[in-house]
């Protein structure tokens, strides 16, 4: 009896990208029961060219039982691709950032976000199953008319980075540059991630308490204008030294996180928020702004600031975590427990079960 | 004090206390946000200011070129040519002096604009408020020079027509 064929499609695949990692984890689980690959319009780097196939090589509809579309933004070529498909479609929804956050400074990107939302509307009638990363994302997907949405953070593996060996060169460099230690943040350099608030928070903290704590930001800059603005703003905030690590390998990311004194997140919008959980999994205390799906994801495992928190409250929180030993150890313990709790839910196998049933 | 809620409440209390003590100046967060927004404005609209300066520079060059009309001394009225020739020379000496001064000023203005353009192209991160002030100051001065140059040009044309 022929095995089912279930493939996943992405707009872009890159190492370190959360959605890419989740798709690959689901693929690995699916391959236990069916033929499965991940296809992408763009595959960044040799690793992705090995792990993922070119979308132009996607098989015909007759030879595919189910196509899983990972939705997080729109792109015309992907829209055209999906419109041509005749097989069953599944949606894995990772949240589309509201376009209002970008319309002023990047209208083209805002248009891509709106296109992604239109794609969801257009695909609704052909979608046989919808999976959302979080309750927050499920509520968002419902606004497009989707029903019976399964809430499973597909392919999410909190302990993903735990087995990575240390990069000692990075540890030495960071130790020399930041003798008092550093705070780490992980995420793409995008406006809704509020990178400027990360810098402001450390600037205010160091100014008030003379902490001389550094900041390391791991993540690729997707929008040049915002990156330039952040770079110039950093020069204005004299009380914080910031290392922009850019795109990093899993080993480097793991090292940066484990070498940090704490993790900080000030994003205004997240559909799931994976990096704080990965930090918790490795025993790093986490402080995050409680926007969108963040509180749902981190639970009691992090210090969750109000959704409208600014750099002053964040600065006080950083100081508290770094100087209140009892609280810091309590936070580390709770974070570790939360990561293990999420891991135990085995989202990859649960997602694979749902997709296999839908493909029948 | 172990729960997040208790910690947050304590931190908010500290923030309020430090604000009262003056350690967190009033409007600090708004100021930081405004600083970043100003930088975002410059980065995204810097090319518009550069274009403004380029256009000012081009106008400056055009005004300079239009100051070179020769004064005609021919007259339509027979016999009056000498009179117009004399008047034209007299007026020409006066306008030439004015024109020279205007030309010198415009040339200086052109040099300044070219330097400014080069500086802006090198340093696109200049604060938008400084850029706007410079741009406005240049525009004000050019408008004055423009008005003066236009008067001289009209005078030259009248003298040329009259002869």
In tens, the pLDDT along B100-131 reads 777 777 777 777 777 777 766 665 555 555 55
Q: How many CB atoms lie within 10 A of CB B97?
A: 10
Residues in chain A: 360
Strands of A233-296 (E only): list them.
Answer: 242-246, 262-265, 286-289
Q: Which residues of A touch B25 (CB under 8 A)?
A: none
| Average pLDDT over chain B, rounded to an integer | 70
Contacts of A304 in chain B (CB under 8 A): 4, 8
pLDDT computed for residue B71 by the predictor: 46
Backbone dihedral region of A166: left (phi > 0), alpha (psi from -120 to 50 degrees) or beta? beta
Q: For B7, which of A196, A229, A320 is closest by C-beta distance?
A: A320
The predicted-structure confidence for A111-139, as pLDDT tens digits, reads as follows: 999 999 999 999 999 999 999 989 999 99
Residues above pLDDT 90, as percent of chain A: 85
Helices (H) and strands (E) in chain A, counts: 14, 13
pLDDT tens-digit profile of A78-106? 999 999 999 999 999 999 999 988 888 88
Cross-chain Cβ contact A311/B29 below 8 Å: yes
pLDDT at A203: 96
pTM, to two decimals: 0.75
Q: Are strands A262-265 and A182-186 parallel, antiparallel or unpaired?
A: parallel
Per-residue model confidence as pLDDT tens digits over A272-295 = 999 999 999 999 999 999 999 999
User: Are the C-beta atoms of A293 and A133 separated by less than 8 Å?
Assistant: yes
* Mutate: best of B2, B18, B30, B32, partner A, most A CBs <10 A: B32
Residue A269 CA: distances (Å) to CA of A101, A288, B91:
10, 12, 73
The tokens for B108 are 């200086």
3-state secondary structure of A127: strand
A26-31 contact pairs (CB < 8 A, 24+):
A26/A68, A26/A92, A26/A154, A26/A155, A26/A348, A26/A351, A26/A352, A26/A355, A28/A348, A29/A155, A29/A348, A29/A349, A29/A351, A29/A352, A30/A6, A30/A352, A30/A355, A30/A356
Q: Is the pLDDT of residue A171 over 80?
A: yes
Q: Cα separation of A274 and A22, whole Å?
A: 10
Question: B115 to chain A, minimum CA–CA distance in Å?
Answer: 23
**Yes or no, beta carbons of A196 and B36 under 8 Å apart:** yes
Burial A139-151 (b: 16+ CB within 10 A, else e): ebbeebebeebbb
Q: Which residues of B touch A (CB under 8 A)?
A: 1-2, 4, 7-8, 11-12, 14-15, 18, 23-24, 28-29, 32, 35-36, 39-40, 43-44, 125
Which residues in chain A are closer than 8 Å to B39, comparing Cβ atoms? 229, 232-233, 236
What is the rounded distance in angstroms from the CA atom of residue B15 to the CA atom of residue B37?
24
Q: What is the pLDDT of residue A107?
A: 87
Please tell me the distance in Å from A186's CA to the nearest CA on chain B: 21
Nearest Cα residue in chain A from B32: A200
- Among B24, B35, B43, beta carbon nearest to A312: B24
List, in sequence order, every beta strand (DSSP E) within A45-137: 53-54, 66-71, 88-93, 127-132
* pLDDT at residue B34 is higher than 70: yes
Burial of A222 (0-12, 13-18, 19+ CB in 10 A): middle
- What CA–CA distances, in Å, run from B4 to A294, A297, B10? 14, 15, 10
Cβ-based contacts of B26 with chain A (< 8 Å): none
pLDDT at B101: 72
Give the N- to C-terminal CA distance of chain B in Å, as an integer: 98
Q: Do B4 and A312 touch (CB under 8 A)?
A: no
Contact yes or no for B35 and A305 at CB 8 A: no
Measured CA to CA in angstroms, residue A1 lies from A4, A29, A33, A274, B48 at distances of: 9, 20, 12, 38, 65
Taking the CA atoms of A289, A291, A295 and A298 in sequence, report the sign of the dihedral they define. negative
User: By C-alpha distance, which of B43, B48, B61, B53 is closest to B117?
Assistant: B53
- By C-alpha distance, the chain B residue nearest A233 is B36
pLDDT of B98 reads 64
Rounded CA gap, A156 and A354, in Å?
15
Task: Calculate the average pLDDT of chain A.
Answer: 94
3-state secondary structure of B35: helix
Interchain contact, A208 vs B23, CB within 8 Å: yes
Determine the residue of chain B that is closest to A223 in CA distance.
Answer: B44
Long-range contacts of B18-23 (CB under 8 A, 24+ apart): B18/A208, B23/A208
Please name the residue of chain B whose CA is at the shortest distance from the CA of residue A228.
B43
Rounded to 10 degrees, the C-alpha dihedral B36/B39/B43/B45 comes to 110
> Could you tell me how many residues make up chain B?
163
CB contact under 8 Å between A316 and B11, yes or no, is yes
């Amino acid at each position: 009896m022929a095995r089912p064929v279930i493939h996943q499609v992405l707009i872009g695949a890159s190492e370190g990208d959360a959605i890419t990692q989740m798709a690959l984890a689901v693929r690995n689980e699916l391959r236990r029961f069916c033929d499965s690959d991940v296809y992408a319009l763009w595959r960044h780097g040799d690793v992705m060219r090995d792990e993922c196939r070119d979308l132009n090589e996607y098989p015909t509809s007759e030879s595919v039982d189910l196509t899983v579309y990972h939705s997080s933004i729109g792109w015309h070529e992907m829209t055209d691709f999906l419109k041509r498909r005749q097989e069953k479609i599944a949606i894995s929804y990772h949240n589309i950032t509201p376009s209002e956050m970008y319309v002023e400074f990047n209208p083209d990107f805002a248009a891509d976000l709106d296109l992604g939302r239109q794609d969801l509307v257009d695909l609704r009638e052909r979608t046989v199953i919808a999976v959302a990363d979080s309750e927050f994302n499920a509520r968002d997907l419902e606004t497009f008319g989707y029903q019976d949405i399964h809430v499973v953070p597909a392919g999410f593996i909190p302990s993903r980075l735990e087995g990575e060996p240390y990069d000692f060169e990075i540890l030495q460099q960071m130790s020399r540059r930041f003798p008092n230690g550093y705070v780490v943040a992980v995420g793409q350099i995008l406006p809704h991630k509020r990178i400027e608030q990360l810098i402001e928070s450390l600037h205010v903290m160091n100014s008030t308490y003379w902490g001389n704590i550094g900041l390391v930001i791991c993540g690729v800059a997707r929008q040049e204008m915002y990156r330039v603005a952040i770079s110039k703003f950093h020069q204005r905030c004299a009380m914080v030294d910031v290392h922009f690590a850019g795109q990093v390998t899993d080993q480097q990311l793991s090292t940066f996180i484990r070498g940090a004194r704490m993790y900080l997140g000030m994003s205004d919008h997240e559909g799931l928020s994976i990096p704080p959980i990965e930090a918790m999994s490795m025993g790093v205390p986490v402080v995050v702004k409680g926007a969108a799906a963040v509180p749902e994801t981190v639970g009691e495992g992090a210090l969750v600031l109000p959704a409208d928190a600014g750099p002053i409250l964040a600065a006080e929180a950083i100081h508290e975590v770094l100087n209140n030993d009892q609280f810091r150890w309590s936070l580390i313990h709770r974070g570790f427990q939360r990561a293990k709790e999420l891991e135990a839910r085995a989202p990859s196998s649960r997602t694979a079960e749902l997709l296999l049933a839908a493909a029948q | 004090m172990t729960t997040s809620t208790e910690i947050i409440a304590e931190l908010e209390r500290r923030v309020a206390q430090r604000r009262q003590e003056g350690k967190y100046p009033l409007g600090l967060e708004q100021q930081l946000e405004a600083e970043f927004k100003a930088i975002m404005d410059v980065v995204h609209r810097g090319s518009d200011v550069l274009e403004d300066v380029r256009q000012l520079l081009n106008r400056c060059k055009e005004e300079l070129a239009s100051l070179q009309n020769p004064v005609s001394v021919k007259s339509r009225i027979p016999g009056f040519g000498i009179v117009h020739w004399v008047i034209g020379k007299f007026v020409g000496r006066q306008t030439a002096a004015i024109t020279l001064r205007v030309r010198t000023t415009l040339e200086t203005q052109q040099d300044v604009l070219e330097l400014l353009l080069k500086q802006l192209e090198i340093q696109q991160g200049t604060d938008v408020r400084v850029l706007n002030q410079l741009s406005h100051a240049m525009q004000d001065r050019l408008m004055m020079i423009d008005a003066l140059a236009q008067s001289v040009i009209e005078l030259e044309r009248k003298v040329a027509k009259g002869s």
